[in-house]
Amino acid sequence: MQGLAKKDLKERIQKVCELMGLEDRLDNKVNTLSGGLKQRAMIARTLIGSPKILFLDEPTTGLDVLVARKVRQIIKSLSKDMTIFLATHNMMEAYQLCDRIAIINQGEIAEIDTPQSIYSKNKSGDEDFEDVIAKLLGFDEQSLRELEVEL
């Protein structure tokens, strides 16, 4: 935001707030917003400076279904114009949003490729993407079944 004239900054804030669906909340303090609106406001704040790279950590965690969907749509749209690093435990979200993913297990990269390639190389039977990732992380089918029974 440094180097932007006040008028340009106001225009940029307006544009980013419109993108994030926050134009009617410009006068609200962030601490008065709901969780979903806070999340969008935090993303909007990072976009004001027109970054080429955006780092997002669990951007939809704790959001209701509709707000999480809106945030995912925004991320997908933004990814056309910038590089986005997305940290998430939500494997279906990673599958939907990412061009390439790195599966990290105990601080080491276990696999890096497109989600589709990781899935097709590692699936057996009718496993979904989360099952494939669990297998890559060292969970066998018996461990997964036991975990399901415990839940």
> Whole-number mean pLDDT of the chain?
88
Q: Tokens representing 87?
A: 């940290």
pLDDT for residue 124: 86
C-alpha to C-alpha distance for 23 and 25, rounded to whole angstroms: 5
Q: List CB contacts of 122: < 8 A, sequence separation 6 or more.
A: 111, 132, 135, 136
Domain ranges of the chain: 1-90, 100-150
What average pLDDT does this structure show over 137-142?
Answer: 77
pLDDT for residue 148: 67
Judged by average pLDDT, the poorest of 6-10, 79-83, 100-104, 146-150 is 146-150
Q: Assign a CATH topology to domain 1-90.
A: Rossmann fold (3.40.50)
Confidence of residue 3 (pLDDT cuts 50, 70, 90): low
Q: Half-sphere exposure of residue 44, counting CA atoms within 13 Å on the CB side?
A: 22
What average pLDDT does this structure show over 18-33?
Answer: 90
pTM: 0.77
